[in-house]
Structure 1
Amino acid sequence: MFFNSWESALRLLIMGFLAYSALILLLRISGKRTLSKMNAFDLIVTVALGSTLATTLLNKNIALIEGIAAFLILIVLQFLVAWLSIRSDGFKKLIKSDPKLIFYQGKYLKENIVKERVLEVEILQAARSSGINSMDQVEAVVLETDGSISVIKKSDSQTNTLASVDQ
């Protein structure tokens, strides 16, 4: 059906504006790190917020205040997880992974590549994206905590350090 009623359309417009506004306000109050690109857990929260917004908009049995309460619960829980992970190393290890070295000094670290399910072509693509045309120019490649791949070019100095990277 293409059109139910003007009442449904008006409800959707009002609920959409109010629910979206509430979500933006709550996200602004909670701070920049609430939905920053950190790990898979953050992606789940982002998807849950989107699902909650859609449900609030489209399900006539969900009141606006219930949708806002759901946003608030998700954001508060996300804030608590971030707060705890900063203050507790044990909790941080439970929630976040460590960066992992997958290429170092001319050698692919096969065990780490297999464990992290990374393809060598993905490493090569990351190198090309960094403007590198030969792996001879690469000191190291790191699979970051957010799933991105960082390429560290060789430098002329001998003081290369990879702080906080598991080998």
Structure 2
Amino acid sequence: MFFQGWSGILRVLVVGALAYVAMVLFLRVSGKRTLAKLNAFDLVVTVALGSTLASILLSSSVALAEGVAAMLTLIGCQYIVAWSSVRSRRVARLVRSEPTLLLRDGEICERALRECRMTEAELRTVVRSNANAEPSEVAAVILESDGSFSVIPSPEEGRASFAETGLRL
């Protein structure tokens, strides 16, 4: 249970080092976009790569070559989808989600909350954790396409409000 022999440890060390080198090389070749987590698809690829690396390291039934092929497949698919979404609006709409405005100048957008399956209490938690404020003290809260929240503080005296800036979401 605590120790099954040196061969398993040696396998993890050798295969782990080789899989790590392969992952670094693939990520360098594929570019920064592979791990950018700009949308849900990017996040899924990042998690899948981590899971694949863990399988290579810890499962003796997964050969290094199979694991490297799996990583290469994931990175290749992500590259093709990202490349296609830059060149085709149809593909971009299919893969990317648009940011959603949940709160504007202190007013909660009820419809947007329902569409995002969020409660007002959850939105208040986001505001408190990001701005230490109440919703009435915040210019905007945006649910970004990667699932993170952007909280834009209310402008200072004499500066334009969020609505007056002309920004549209």
TM-score range, shorter chain: 0.7 to 0.9
Q: Which residue of 2 aligns with 1:89?
A: 89
Q: Which residue of 1 aligns with 2:141?
A: 141
Question: Aligned-residue CA RMSD in angstroms?
Answer: 2.0
- When normalised by structure 2's length, the TM-score is 0.85
Amino acid across the alignment from 1:160: T
In structure 2, relative to structure 1, the CA distance for the partners of 1:4 and 1:132 (3 Å cut) is closer
Amino acid across the alignment from 2:136: D
CA distance in 2, matches of 1:162, 1:151: 15
CA distance in 2, matches of 1:50, 1:131: 32
Q: Which residue of 2 aligns with 1:162?
A: 167
- C-alpha displacement at 1:142, in angstroms? 1.5
- C-alpha displacement at 1:96, in angstroms? 1.2
**Deviation sequence 1:111-163 (CA, Å, 0-9, x none):** 11011012223322333344353433323221111112222233323641324
Range that drifts further, 125-134 or 102-111: 125-134
- C-alpha displacement at 1:93, in angstroms? 1.1
Q: Is the 8 A contact 2:106 2:139 kept in 1?
A: yes
Q: Which residue of 1 aligns with 2:24?
A: 24
SS in 1 for 2:60: coil
Amino acid across the alignment from 1:161: G
**Structure 1 runs not aligned, ≥5 long:** none
**Deviation sequence 1:2-44 (CA, Å, 0-9, x none):** 3233222211210111111211221122111101121222222
- C-alpha displacement at 1:76, in angstroms? 0.9
CA distance in 2, matches of 1:111, 1:152: 20
**Structure 2 runs not aligned, ≥5 long:** none
- C-alpha displacement at 1:102, in angstroms? 1.3
- C-alpha displacement at 1:61, in angstroms? 3.4
Mapping 1:45-124, distance limit 5 Å: 45-124=45-124
Size of the aligned set, in residue pairs, is: 164
